[in-house]
A and B are shown apart, each in its own frame.
Chain A
Amino acid sequence: MIRANAIEATNVSLVFGEHAGVFDQTYCVPEGTILGLIGPSGCGKTTTVRLALGLYRPQKGAIRVLGADPATFRAEHRARIGYIPQQFVLYPNLSVAENAEFIASLYGMRRRQIHRRLDELLEFVDLAAARNRLGRQLSGGMQRRLMLVGALMHNPDLLFADEPTAGIDPVLRGRFWEYFRTLRDEGRTLLITTQIVSEAMYCDYVAVMRQGRLLAIDTPQNLKRRALGGEIIHLTLANPANLAKAIGALRRYPHVKEVRYAPESDRELYVTVDDAGDWIPEVLNVLEDPQGPNIVVESAEELALTFDDVFIRIIRQWEAQPEDQTADAIIGREQHG
């Protein structure tokens, strides 16, 4: 199935100072997917979101959101968009219900619609019991959930969430990503920024950002492969004396891309292949071949790298590149049929 793009950005630049802003951003977000913008503080995530919301106008390039230029959004376009800004901007002297009602009214919802929708959403984010609690009496996590309720009241097709999980505990973060994936499953498109690299695994697509540039954008799995050059098989040999012989045998094998020593071990190896699941049996056959090396392998499994490692590798690769070389940052229609 080919999906239309909710967001399409082509060579978008907005420069605030010598090195501040965003530069040559080209990306698109298919409808019904989650794009996670990941990067350190100040790397341009919020600017990217604001450009897509029409709060900023690009100095260069073009951006289309829901088929329109955000700078010329009409009320009908805005009614299809939900937004959770970075800070809690709801009102401390209004109750949970009143805050949500206020936001919903800005989107033109009538009272009856509001009450019905509010009941559902408060249930959805486990805030039903806090319905009449004032904004100032809410914990940080409840405030975030209230922001999510506010952003969803008018049933947007496209949701922008700027660091919605910043500063909240891991359990609640997990809940948030459950909410987001549920919303995605309903067909909504989400663009979510985060500094927490491990959250990339919850996204359909991940864009890695640094210094205003999109370094890479792809599915989490593909990004992993791109960062590592494939997948890694973690081998443990029964006898450390066979280590050199094993390296030699593996390097001669054409499907092995790289063989490295595992750090701080005299009998473990990291073997890079295209697909670890496919190639573990073949690698074991090569090493244990009685006619060949005849090395006893104690264990062989895919190395589970964290996304932090992937992120660091992508950053290092980018830093090693010449300045004018940008990463392929397009999610093409053909990639997600």
Chain B
Amino acid sequence: MDSTSPVRPTQHSHTTPHPSDAVVLWLIRTRAYFLKEIREIRRQPLLIISLIAGPLLVLVLFGIGFVNSNPVLRTALILPDDLPDDVRTRLVSLISLNFQITDRAYTLSEARIALEQGDLDVVQVIPADISGQLQRSEHPTILVYSNAINPLVEGWVQYLAYAQVNEINKALLTEQTRLAQQQAREVGVRIALGANRLTELEREVSRAEQETIRQELRALRAFLVQFRATIPPENLFAGRSEDIEQVRLRTDDAIRALDDVDAVLASGDIEKGLKELRDSKELLTLLDQQIAIFISIAPETIVSPVQQRYQNIRTEASGEASGAYPAVVYYAPGVLALLVQHTAVSLGALALVRERMMGAFELFRVSPANMVQLLIGKYLGYTVFIALASVALAAAMRLLGVPLLGNWFLFVILLLLLTVASLGVGFLISTVAGSDSQAIQFAMISLLLSIFFSGFFISRDSFAAWVAPIIALLPMSHGVEGFQDVMLRGIPPDPEVWIELGIIAAATFGLVTFLTQRQFRRA
């Protein structure tokens, strides 16, 4: 024989080991699985690089590329021919705030075809004679068309159209109020003259002078009628509508009083109409006082009396109003949670199915090692690897300006708990998957579920109550919330985060143990 025969070591004693030996043996066997996993992963440098560098690159690209959270809406504006130039300029400038108006002029039918073909996102049709309709207390309507297939885009179009109409309303009313105030100043001057003329009538005046005064008062009446028409309808105002209404009422009273004066002058018996003359003078004085109030108020205050001032308390001390993070920083904790969960789920999903398919379960079952040692060894191996990769990613994120405002110890504990809970989901997949490709498919489904429901991009409040259990079952939901608290807010995560992650970790480990034990028996 060519080969050297090995020296046969001392035979096993074949007795039950001492309890302390049993513990050592238990640890040796668990370590065997742990080291095996670590060594296998260590031999795959591309996997390690892609796990750390991949998400970081995506985050950097996102940070560089992300410029606006609002969609850009290509909009055709169809304006009526009779629109005055100044109103046209004003409207275009207001609509441009939220919509990207195209240079090309469209008819309505052309614009609708362009919408259908996807060349335009929005078409807005401005009605003719907006000012006239407002004066007539009508509601001019701006028609907004879209052909959106994305519900979020449609929501944005509707919201932006609503905000735009509010701004247009404000601008129109402010302008009309400003015009009414200008006319009211002129009315004030003329009322003062009219009141003087009424005082003159109380004295002895010639017939010819009476006629002159009568003509002047008629002119004043006509001016008041014209002024009344410029007063914007009360119902269009957000505030100070009582002052506007008082102006209107006093104007009506003054017009009626001037009619009475005219009747007295027509009768030629001033002595008998002295009371009407004095009443009329008083009413003109009241109108003058009301007009003084009206013109003293800024048009903006009449149109929108309440203002808002925003302050983010995070940046209150520095005097800056806005304090939210840039998008790249805000989404970083979510990316970290996503990396941890997806890596753990993928590794876990392949862990048992691969061993089962290659026949290693048979080898393990024949050996003295048990299934709990296998699970704990694998959990430990993957946890250490994912934790190291995540810490490296988090450190790289610091270079992008992502802070860790909270306690780093809580951060590490949360990272470990999220890893173990996610591994549980992965191992659970591994126990039910019949092949590698099935396991990967299930892992992808869990990834999709997490992206939609974890609060990563879409707020969890957006979902119906019955979705809450699905959200709660996803480790990433708690990971995103917890990492945002620790990293960006600097506060400890809610107790619910710890409890629910703990429940997922414990429940999945229990289930995996039970199911793997059954598969072990059938190996």
Contacts and interface: CB of A to CB of B under 8 A. Distances in A.
A and B form one complex = yes
A87 B368 contact: no
Contacts of A124: 3-6
Given A53-B366, A78-B367, A108-B368, A186 B3 contact: no
Nearest to B8: A186
Given A89-B358, A126-B3, A79 B28 contact: no
Interface in B176-222: none
Contact of B3 (A78, A87, A102, A175): A175
Given A87-B359, A124-B6, A108 B25 contact: yes
Interface stretch (A27-35, A90-98, A239-247, A287-295): A90-98
Interface in A113-146: 113, 117, 120-121, 123-126, 134
Interface stretch (B37-45, B487-495, B500-508): B37-45
12 contacts: A50-B362, A55-B362, A76-B16, A101-B35, A105-B35, A106-B367, A107-B367, A107-B369, A109-B28, A117-B6, A152-B6, A155-B11
Among B28, B40, B360, B523, find the residue whose CB has the most chain A CB atoms closer than 10 A.
B28
A182 interface: yes
Nearest to A79: B368
A87 B362 CA distance: 11
B4 A123 contact: yes
Given A53-B366, A186-B5, 17 more contacts: A55-B365, A78-B366, A85-B362, A85-B363, A86-B359, A93-B44, A103-B367, A105-B31, A106-B32, A108-B24, A108-B29, A123-B3, A123-B4, A125-B3, A126-B2, A155-B9, A185-B5
Contacts of B25: 75, 108
Nearest to B10: A155
Contacts of A186: 5, 8
A80 interface: yes
B41 to A, nearest CB: 8
Interface of A: 50, 53-55, 75-76, 78-81, 83, 85-87, 89, 91, 93-94, 98, 101-103, 105-110, 113, 117, 120-121, 123-126, 134, 152, 155, 157, 175, 178-179, 182, 185-187
B358 A87 contact: yes
B97 interface: no
Contacts of B67: none
**In the complex, which of the residues A80, A91, A101, A103 has the most CB atoms of chain B within 10 Å of its own CB atom?**
A91
Interface string B61-93: 000000000000000000000000000000000
A79 B12 contact: yes
Given A75-B368, A85-B359, A98 B5 contact: no
Instruction: For the complex of A and B, list the 3 residue pairs with the smallest distance between their C-beta atoms, beginning with the closest.
Output: A105-B32, A75-B368, A120-B6
A252 B35 CA distance: 76
B362 A121 contact: no
B275 interface: no
Contacts of B8: 155, 186-187
Of A81, A89, A182, A187, chain B has the most CB atoms within 10 Å of the CB of: A89
Contacts of B40: 91, 93-94
Interface string B265-278: 00000000000000
Contacts of B399: none
Contacts of A113: 9
Interface size class of B (residues with CB under 8 A): 35 or more
Contact of A106 (B2, B6, B39, B368): B368
A134 B43 contact: yes
B364 interface: yes
A224 B364 CA distance: 39
Contacts of A85: 359, 362-363
A50 B361 CA distance: 13
Contacts of B17: 76
A155 to B, nearest CB: 5
B191 to A, nearest CB: 98
B29 A182 contact: no
B1 A89 contact: no
B368 A78 contact: yes
Contacts of B43: 93-94, 134
B28 A108 contact: yes
B46 interface: no
Contacts of B3: 123-126, 175, 178-179, 182
Given A107-B368, A178-B1, A89 B9 contact: no
Interface string B349-361: 0000000001110
Nearest to B44: A93
A146 to B, nearest CB: 13
A308 B358 CA distance: 33
B7 interface: yes
Nearest to A155: B9
Given A79-B12, A85-B359, A121 B6 contact: yes
